[in-house]
Amino acid sequence: MEYVKSKVRNIYDFPVKGVIFKDLTTALKDQKALHIIGKTLSDLYRDKGITKVIGIESRGFIGGSIMAYELGAGFVPARKPGKLPADTVSRSFKKEYGTDTIEIHRDAITEDDIVVIHDDVLATGGTMAATYELVKSMNPKKIYINFIFEITALDGRKALPAEAEVTSLIAE
């Protein structure tokens, strides 16, 4: 993971002053780093019986799609309001620089599903906590949470449910 970490770029004061944005696009465009990310993410869940991978808009779509493909699972997008065409469920949440809402299709998850929710970066945890609550309300058998990068100084894990297994490939 050191190779991947070396490819992550810091963008200062983005999207607002005082925020250090972890830009993973520099790692994703590097074929070796992308391969490491995809293989490592998939290997974490290969024997867990995953039936659905939920990717959080928008960078979570990348790692989430790779995992779904590698695991032979379905992919479910968690999106901002108005982006999904069918009946949705939603949750609003606070972010480090404002508030937002996340939605998924009402019929995306069943009680037979074993789910991993994926996003690129864990910062304050608001987006993931809201997505987790949406998925949990659909009563799947099990929910895992996964990130590529965790910004430990922001204590985002505190916002996440204690019962969920949370994994980050890189934490700093």
Give the structural domain span for 58: 48-171
Tens-place pLDDT, residues 110-152: 999 999 999 999 988 999 999 999 999 999 999 999 999 999 9
Cα 18 to Cα 117: distance, rounded to the nearest angstrom: 28
Cα 133 to Cα 157: distance, rounded to the nearest angstrom: 15
Tens-place pLDDT, residues 79-100: 999 999 999 999 988 776 678 9
The model's pTM is 0.94
> Is residue 1 in a domain?
no
* β pairing state of 20-23 and 114-122: unpaired
The larger pLDDT score, comparing residue 72 to residue 18, is at 72
Q: Is the bond into 65 cis (omega within 30 degrees of 0)?
A: no
Tokens for 141? 């058998």
> Is residue 32 in a domain?
no
Return the closest-CA partner of residue 64 out of 45, 83, 80. 45
Return the closest-CA partner of residue 102 out of 166, 57, 52, 145. 57
Q: What is the CATH number of the domain that holds 104?
A: 3.40.50.2020
> Is residue 97 in a domain?
yes
Q: Across all residues in the chain, what is the average pLDDT?
A: 94
> Is residue 30 in a domain?
no
- Split into its structural domains, the chain has a count of 1
> Is residue 80 in a domain?
yes
> Is residue 90 in a domain?
yes
- DSSP 8-state assignment for residue 71: H
Would you name the residues annotated as active-site residues? 59, 96
Determine contact, residues 106/134, Cβ cutoff 8 Å: no
> Is residue 156 in a domain?
yes
> Is residue 152 in a domain?
yes
Determine contact, residues 128/145, Cβ cutoff 8 Å: yes
Q: What is the model's pLDDT at position 18?
A: 85
